[in-house]
Amino acid sequence: MTLDWFDRVTEELQDNLESICEKYDQIGHMSIDKAAKHPRIEFFVEMNEDERDYFCTLLFDPFNNEFYIESYDIEFDLVSRTILDDIEDIIDAVHESFHDYMNDEEYEEALEYSDDHEYDYDDDEGYETLEVDWETPEVTAYINESEDVEITYKFGVIQETGDGILQRINRVRTDDDDLIKDEFNFIFSKDEASTIIAMIASHMNSINSLEN
């Protein structure tokens, strides 16, 4: 498990963006955070010496070796991911985000909205701070000792809503001996549970093993 794809993209990205967009070349900047669980590339415009306006964040999933961007759906109160398969998709996503930022007259209002919500994007806490009663310990679903990969699950109930939560935790040790821990929470109601179980059970034979 390496960060080769992340490194290759960061090397090429700045030059490609500067050549594709004159306006970005004038005011666009990017920073790299390689130490996070999911390394990220952040794009911003400098307002003054002490202030930056960020308009796009590319995140890298080292377990699946893919880049993605996240968006928040206000209506459904959900965070979604858009997978970016190649360098062209990545450049297009950043370029589009930059022009959306430049053209968005409601940008300040959007910032005020995000400040009023309690979402905590902390690498050690996940997307949200949730009060959960964990009904099970971590259960190992997959382990590959030769590649230092482990996947565990645990089930709990969210105190505030009574919804179920299934937490998947990926632990990967890289070639540089860094331990990367990636958490993903799937939340569902009691009404959905039986349908989810039935759909998975009915299509087990269509799913590939991680060993394939």
* Span 126-144, pLDDT tens digits: 334 568 899 999 999 888 8
Quote the CA–CA distance of 163 and 156 in Å, as a whole number: 9
Quote the CA–CA distance of 145 and 74 in Å, as a whole number: 41
- Using DSSP's 3-state secondary structure scheme, residue 173 falls into strand
Q: In this predicted model, what pLDDT tens digit does every residue of 3-46 receive, in sequence order?
A: 788 888 888 887 787 777 777 777 788 888 887 778 889 888 87
Neighbours of 165 (CB within 10 A): 19
Indicate the pTM of the whole model: 0.47
Of the candidates 76, 61, 77, 58, the one whose C-alpha atom is nearest the C-alpha of residue 13 is 58
CB neighbour list of residue 17: distance below 8 Å, 6 or more residues apart: 24, 25, 28, 30, 91, 94, 95
Neighbours of 26 (CB within 10 A): 9
Quote the CA–CA distance of 9 and 133 in Å, as a whole number: 40
The domain 132-206 having CATH identifier 1.10.3470: the answer here is no
Quote the CA–CA distance of 143 and 163 in Å, as a whole number: 29
Residue 157 per-residue DSSP state: E
The domain limits of the chain are 4-116, 132-206
Q: Are 43 and 99 in contact (CB under 8 A)?
A: no
What is the token pair recorded at 93? 């996503």
Q: pLDDT at residue 51 above 80?
A: no
pLDDT above 90 coverage of the chain, percent:
12
